[in-house]
Amino acid sequence: MLNNGKIIKNLLEKGIKTERLCLRKFSLGDVADMFEYTSDKDNWNYIARDAHTDISQAENFICENIEKYDNPSDISWGIELSNSGDPDIGKLIGSMRIYDIDFEADTCMISYIINATFSGKGYMTEAIQAVIRVIFHTLKIGEIFADIMQGNRRSEKVAQRCGMVKILDHMATIEIQGQSINMYRYSIKRNFT
């Protein structure tokens, strides 16, 4: 049997294809598309980092992820439009991360972000549902968590559409843009029946 590091690396290499999307490793060709959504301050209202102000920040983020691909402890994918009928085919519209993978505790975390231009079209729901299936069936993890900031209704709705339920109303408070914001924890468990 493959060790856990090889399982993560194989999954990262393989990526995930859905009806309209391809979740795949980042490349330097993604810099402009990533900067498009990482520089949009509205996309960062619920993230504990500042929006990118220079394209080199997006490039550095991608380079850091590319370096980690050789010995991954988590999975970071770009979300690319792959539907041949879409005029934006090949465009990176967001990213998805599986992290804090703990095979012993049987848990992991997910996080996600999408270019606001492509929000409301079901892309993130499609991506998360595919990732949930892969976590349960390939990684064999039993429970997935997502931490969502108070007020981030879009992210909460997407999590709920994917079968996640709120398990903690207040698990932590973090500082965002000078304000204290509560974090909610959502969860979905693998059905063993």
* Range with the poorest average pLDDT among 126-140, 141-155, 168-182: 168-182
Tokens of 159: 């999590």
Q: Is the pLDDT of residue 178 over 50?
A: yes
Q: Give the span between the Cα atoms of 114 and 121, in whole angstroms.
A: 11
The whole-chain average pLDDT of the chain stands at: 87
Q: Which pLDDT score is estimated for 79?
A: 97
| CATH hierarchy code of domain 4-146 | 3.40.630.30
pLDDT classification of 174: cutoffs 50, 70, 90: low
Q: CA nearest 141: which of 192, 103, 100?
A: 103
Q: Is the pLDDT of residue 7 over 60?
A: yes
**pTM, to two decimals:** 0.88
Phi, psi of 85 (to 5 degrees): -85, -5
Tokens of 186: 């959502």
* Range with the poorest average pLDDT among 15-19, 68-72, 157-161, 175-179: 175-179
Q: What percent of the chain has pLDDT over 90?
A: 58
Strands 92-102 and 143-149: unpaired
Q: CA nearest 54: which of 78, 38, 77?
A: 38
Q: Which pLDDT score is estimated for 140?
A: 93
Mean pLDDT of 123-133: 97
Q: Which pLDDT score is estimated for 150?
A: 83
For the stretch 84-124, pLDDT in tens is 777 788 899 999 999 999 999 999 999 999 998 999 999 99
The residues that bridge with 186 in the sheet, in sequence order, are 146, 166
Q: Give the span between the Cα atoms of 25 and 121, in whole angstroms.
A: 23
pLDDT classification of 193: cutoffs 50, 70, 90: very low
For the stretch 37-90, pLDDT in tens is 887 766 665 565 666 778 988 899 899 999 999 888 899 999 999 987 777 888
Tokens of 86: 């879409």
